[in-house]
Amino acid sequence: MKKDACLIIGGGLAGVEAAWQLSRAGISVTLAEMKPIKFSPAHSSESLAELVCSNSLKAKRIGSAAGLLKAEMERLGSICIESAKQSSVPAGGALAVDRERFSQAITDKIKSEPLIRLERREIESIPQDIYCIVAAGPLASKRLSEEIKTLCGGALSFYDAAAPIVTAESIDMQSAFSASRYERGGEADYINCPMNKEEYELFYNELINAQQAQIHDFDKKGVYEGCMPIEVMAARGADTIRYGPLKPVGLKDPRTGHRPWAVVQLRRENSEGTLFNLVGFQTNLKFGEQKRVFSLIPALKNAEFVRYGVMHRNTFINSPAHLNADFSFRGHEGLYFAGQITGVEGYMESASSGILAGLNLARKIKGEKPLILPRETMMGALAAYISDTGFSEFQPMGANFGILPPLDERIKDKKLRYEALAKRSLEKLEEVL
């Protein structure tokens, strides 16, 4: 391994954060960005850290998951947070930016840093003899994607078809029951949300008439090949989903002693059992519609959604099988991954992973122990999530309070609970730093 050679592949949010952290540690690094030589279907600007889908970086309030994440990133010297504040535009309680000014500010900072060498070229293979961080993003070029796929043993997801996720504590267990179909497996594996005929018909009619989200042209290809949206399946007939993901066979409602008309099953999303996903509910409904329609399921009437269902192109690796919590790739010394390709979802989540990958590569080069943030911090919880080997099926995740360990004391008021979780997170971060 050449200790004087360090390459970052990709000049998006994760790539610039990683390069910034390495330069702050006094380490020279090459940042390779294929624009403007080659553009992905979603990109058009030559600047680094281009924002594609929105100019909002979500809430500023520390008592929100997004606000807490940004506070932690700022404490760790984030180039993205600094640039966002410099290019912010009025957006109420959210941190929104002028896209061009934001990207240009980051590009100028990177170009003016003497320890960062910006090279405009496409990287088609991952080098074996130098330190490297792959931060190629969800729209990595075809050749690099194939290289990553080979590295991961042929397992690489080319689109994100994920069901909504709710917190366990928000499920109304008076209207649900724990059981596996035909009593196979443990009771804790699934939570079942039964519906009678009247409840199902109301839910069904609202589902097939709900508003769908717009699909970008670059998202359309291949999105529906592997998994059909629940609303598309339902539109084929009133009983289609009752014979599909909502089939009640093999289940008996202990309240009635009979098989329900339809059942929505919830499956554990994490090993702690604090999050559950709606089985078979891949969807392209607008987020507000998901909240409205899925809350018609009696057991989910007060459900807290930590992630809504999505269907779009989002190349990501099966991180729990390959990455450690410091974002290093198992079995390949000196190789790290960062950004949405690791399974973190969102602008700031992507950037935060770049911070940790850059920090830890710098520590690796200096012969220091990796920095593993406590799971009580939002950045530490995201790192733990993408490296948790307990998944049966890994799907990307954004910042939310559901991935943090619960408080020692139970606080019913959600606002106060979130504020207490944020306070604990920042205190834990200060202890480490």
Tokens encoding 265: 């099953």
Q: What is the pLDDT of residue 305?
A: 94
Q: What pLDDT is recorded for position 224?
A: 39
pLDDT of residue 142: 82
Rounded to the nearest 5 degrees, what angle is found at the Cα of 134, between the Cα atoms of 132 and 139? 160
User: What pLDDT shows up at residue 218?
Assistant: 42
| Per-residue pLDDT, 259 | 94
pLDDT of residue 370: 97
pLDDT at 219: 46
Which stretches within 316-373 are classed as H helix? 319-322, 347-365
* Residue 223: predicted pLDDT: 40
Chunked in runs of 10, what are the mean pLDDT values of the chain (433 residues)? 81 97 98 85 79 81 96 98 91 82 95 97 91 87 87 75 87 92 65 96 96 62 56 92 92 91 88 83 92 97 90 81 97 95 93 98 96 98 93 84 93 94 98 93
Q: Distance between CA 78 and CA 90 in Å, rounded?
A: 21
Domains of the chain and CATH, by start: 2-158+313-432 (3.50.50.60), 162-312 (2.40.30.260)
Residue type, 9: I
DSSP string, 364-433: HHTTPPP----TTSHHHHHHHHHT-TT-SS---B---GGGSPPPSS---SHHHHHHHHHHHHHHHHHHH-
In the chain, the N- to C-terminal Cα span, in Å, equals 29
Task: Provide CB contacts within 8 A for 159, sequence distance 6+.
Answer: 219, 222, 223, 226, 311, 312, 313, 314, 315
Query: Is 9:15 a contact under the CB 8 Å cutoff?
Result: yes
Structure tokens at 270: 């994490």
Under DSSP, is residue 197 helix (H, G, I), strand (E, B) or coil?
helix
pLDDT for 320? 94
Query: Per the omega criterion (within 30 degrees of 0), is the bond before 36 cis?
Result: yes
The arrangement of strands across the sheet holding 94-97 comes to: 56-59, 94-97, 88-89
DSSP state of 207: H
